[in-house]
Amino acid sequence: MNGVLLIAQREINTRLRSRAYRISTIVLALILVALAVLTKLIGGGTDYTVGVTETTAPLAMPLTASAASIGVTVKTRTVPDEAAGRADVASGSLNALLVGDGSTVHVVVKKGVNVKLDNALHVLAGQVALAQQISRLGGDPSRVESAVAGAKVQVDSLTPPHTYDTQRLVLGIIAGVLIYLSLMLAGQAVAQGVVEEKTSRVVELLLATVRPWELMTGKVLGIGIVSLVQMVVIGGAGLAAGLGTGALSIGTSAAVGTLVWLAVWFLLGYFAYALAFAAVAALVSRQEDVAGVVTPVLLFVIVGYVLGVSILPANPGSGLIEVMSMIPMFAPTLMPMRLTLGGVPVVESVVAVAGMLVVIPALVWLAGRIYRNAVVHSGARVRLADAWRAS
């Protein structure tokens, strides 16, 4: 056991000191932070500021309301007089200025009206015209308005669907990307580490002191710890930035929950894939040959990830994804995405985790056997069947 710890420790020290590791951690964390900040800048907050004069001030409230009804945030500001307002429009501090006597919608803009603002103004113009007609016909515009506002469609669902929130959808995709990248990076690190020991022949020296399974376990453990730290740092930085800037409004506990699930699924996925990577990498002796043997394993990661990011955004409740997310080799990429989206029945989550817990010990045995038989054979690529048989 002491051997396993020493080996894991060497892996951790080596990786933590490597430039590639540090740079990839920092760059990925920065990308997520930048994403959060950008979301905040582009998204939320005020979209447009519209100036009103003394005579058009009564239109301020209806404008804000009609804009809100079509999902546009408009703030209004009363200007001292029309000339001052025009100056603000020219300088760009106002997107538009409502002028005239308030009986019609008449705006002054710098060049043209933005589509969204234009829509809001059209709705406003319609309301103004409607209110004037209602008054002329002897009705009360405010009563009509409240009656219209109160009219709703009542929907009765036989099976209430989970409503997917856009923010969680984005978060789910990010979780998917993060776990995909982490599995790829960590898996490749394991494969390259195994082959490095074969290429440099140091494996022969090591096997004279430790058993093959100890060498494999130590390596997988060490790289796993380092990669988990990397993913939590990246994901944590992204979530913290999202919560800090207000780009994310899912709440701290939900954010922590997301991170914990991400870590759990990374570990489950990592152990399964790392063992497979270690076993197939032991078959070859040169770094050039690594890609050839790891690709079939990598395909499982890629297929899960690609299906997830291409189907889930359009169809978060996809039945295909629901089923695949419970199949062990696809679960590590798909389940964390679904969990972040929310609405995963507990039983499905349990089935997925249980599947991994069955597969991992089986892989320990399988990979251990292949690794033990193949790792001492340097030179030509060892056939999988030979590695399985020979002992």
C-alpha span between 330 and 324 (Å, rounded): 6
| Residue 75 or 377 having the CB closest to other proteins | 377
207 binds other proteins, rule: CB under 8 A: yes
209 binds other proteins, rule: CB under 8 A: yes
> Left, alpha or beta for 342 (phi > 0: left; psi -120 to 50: alpha)?
left
> HSE-up of 71 (CA within 13 Å, CB side)?
3
C-alpha span between 16 and 226 (Å, rounded): 7
| Residue 66 or 285 having the CB closest to other proteins | 285
Q: Which stretch binds other proteins (CB under 8 A): 79-87, 164-172, 206-214, 224-232?
A: 206-214
Q: What is the DSSP string of 276-293?
A: HHHHHHTT-SSGGGHHHH
| DSSP-based three-state secondary structure for 39 | helix
Residue 161 C-alpha from the chain's centroid: 22
Which is it for strands 96-99 and 106-108: parallel, antiparallel or unpaired?
antiparallel
> In the structure encoding, which two tokens stand for residue 250, read together?
């899912």
Please pick, from the candidates 205, 299, 306, 320, the single residue that binds other proteins as defined by CB under 8 A. Answer: 205
Closest approach, Cβ 285 to other proteins, in A, equals 10
Tell the residue number behind the tokens 């239109």, with chain if given. Answer: 59
Strands across the sheet containing 74-78: 74-78, 48-52, 96-99, 106-108
What is the sign of the dihedral through the CA atoms of 139, 141, 143 and 146? positive
88 binds other proteins, rule: CB under 8 A: no
- In degrees and rounded to multiples of 5, residue 52 shows phi and psi of -125, 145
Closest approach, Cβ 284 to other proteins, in A, equals 16
C-alpha span between 314 and 335 (Å, rounded): 17
| Residue 19 or 152 having the CB closest to other proteins | 19
| Residue 192 or 318 having the CB closest to other proteins | 192
Q: Which stretch binds other proteins (CB under 8 A): 3-11, 130-138, 146-154, 356-364?
A: 3-11
In the range 348-377, which residues lie near other proteins by CB under 8 A? 376
Closest approach, Cβ 184 to other proteins, in A, equals 22
Closest approach, Cβ 209 to other proteins, in A, equals 5
| Residue 212 or 332 having the CB closest to other proteins | 212
Closest approach, Cβ 185 to other proteins, in A, equals 18
Convert residues 156-195 into a mask of x (bound to other proteins by CB under 8 A) and - (unbound). ----------------------------------------
204 binds other proteins, rule: CB under 8 A: yes
Q: Which stretch binds other proteins (CB under 8 A): 7-15, 65-73, 129-137, 244-252?
A: 7-15
Residue 223 contacts residue 189 (beta carbons within 8 Å): yes
> In the structure encoding, which two tokens stand for residue 220, read together?
């997988």
Residue 293 contacts residue 281 (beta carbons within 8 Å): yes
| Residue 51 or 218 having the CB closest to other proteins | 218
DSSP 169: H
Closest approach, Cβ 10 to other proteins, in A, equals 6
Q: Name the residues that contact other proteins, by CB under 8 A.
A: 2-3, 6-7, 10, 14, 196-197, 200-211, 376, 378, 391
